[in-house]
Amino acid sequence: MLITSIENKIKLAFLVSLGSFSTAILLSILVLGFAREQVRDSRKTIYVLDNDIPILVRRSDVEENREVEYRAHINLFHSLFFNLPPDDAFIRDNVARAMYLVDESGLTEYNNLKEKGYYNSILASSAVLSIRTDSIALDPGKKEFHYYGTQRIERQTSVLIRQLVTTGSYADVPRTENNPHGCLITHWKTLLNRDISHTPKSAF
């Protein structure tokens, strides 16, 4: 059917123009989105020279490994703070390194233990303290953690096994040589530290 009315022709031309314009905008948005994804993906791939031979490798997203880094940071702190041989210089060095990983709550705990003679008793009894990480539970929403570990205290006459549970929060900070994970433990405290077993050395 031929369109004889000028008004109808104008309406048809308007609809065709509007449809073309809408389609052009939609295609532009799709192309821009696709291009953005391509650029983002290209930034994740880099070339590494291996004996002057370029090798294409894919860079992992920092956020993908962040939870692993949080766990490693928490584990490292507890290892430094609780693995203690009867060596005063070694203890001071370990504690000093641990203090880079925690806020003032870590220093408060250290001072409390020092005032109670905890470190002096380690030296006096030639005790060797070691910690084994059982698990670390993270709450990414609240950025809180619970650390579960087993502490072994070996003295000349006996071996004491203790259950250790601590909790705290964690925050992102700039990475440094002393804090390679870029994480800081905050509001750290011990929830549980109780004996599990006590075995005299003569029983071995």
Which amino acid is residue 26, in one-letter code?
A: L
Distances (CA, A) of 92 to 82, 85, 99, 120, 160: 12, 11, 11, 12, 23
Q: What is the pLDDT of residue 202?
A: 67
Task: Give yes or no for a contact between 101 and 73, defined as CB atoms under 8 angstroms apart.
Answer: yes
| Residue 58 reports pLDDT greater than 60 | no
Task: Give yes or no for a contact between 147 and 173, defined as CB atoms under 8 angstroms apart.
Answer: no
More confident residue, 66 or 163: 163
Q: What is the pLDDT of residue 131?
A: 96
Q: What is the pLDDT of residue 1?
A: 47
pLDDT tens, residue by residue, 133-148: 999 999 999 999 999 9
pLDDT tens, residue by residue, 81-122: 999 999 999 999 999 999 999 999 999 999 999 999 999 999
pLDDT tens, residue by residue, 117-128: 999 999 999 999
Task: Give yes or no for a contact between 164 and 150, defined as CB atoms under 8 angstroms apart.
Answer: yes
Q: What is the pLDDT of residue 15?
A: 81
Q: What is the CA radius of gyration of the chain?
A: 31
